């Protein structure tokens, strides 16, 4: 069982075997107001950096390809389903994406350790490969 991205997985102080098997995800254990622990998972990210070496690295939490073959390198969406990232389409550009708007057109979506198999966008390199 893969935990939902950034979602509440358990309110038990103990991890069951399904949760323990998710070794590649970052785990945060927080104390709720009722005194029980809550376990949150944040997906593994991979950072891209511009090939000219200028600017800061950007943490990619998911790579998406739509039916029109546009590619999206996105961070995790906020509570409204809006994610910021790099889009390769008619133009290559940075901006916000409404996940609900593109959801019907997704043909490929990669998260977590599967990002290791994705090529960096045009003009960028994966920071861990430099």
- List pLDDT tens digits, range 85-127: 999 999 999 999 999 999 999 999 999 999 999 999 999 999 9
Question: Are 57 and 92 within 8 A, CB to CB?
Answer: no
Q: Measured on CA atoms in the order 125, 126, 129, 130, is the torsion positive or negative?
A: positive
The sign one gets for the Cα dihedral 84, 105, 91, 118 is: positive
Residue 10: pLDDT over 90:
no
The whole-angstrom separation of Cα 97 and Cα 95 is 7
Q: Supply the pTM of this predicted model.
A: 0.68
Is the pLDDT at 30 greater than 80? The verdict is no
């Amino acid at each position: 069982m893969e935990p939902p991205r950034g979602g509440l997985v358990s309110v038990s102080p103990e991890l069951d075997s399904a949760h323990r098997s998710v070794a590649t995800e970052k785990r945060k254990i927080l104390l709720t107001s009722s005194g029980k622990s809550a376990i949150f998972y944040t997906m593994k990210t991979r950072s891209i950096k511009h090939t000219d070496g200028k600017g800061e690295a950007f943490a990619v939490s998911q790579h998406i390809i739509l039916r029109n073959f546009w590619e999206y390198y996105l961070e995790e969406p906020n509570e409204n389903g809006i994610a910021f990232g790099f889009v390769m389409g008619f133009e290559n550009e940075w901006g916000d994406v409404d996940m609900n708007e593109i959801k019907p057109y997704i043909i490929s979506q990669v998260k977590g350790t599967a990002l290791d198999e994705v090529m960096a966008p045009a003009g960028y390199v994966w920071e861990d490969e430099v």
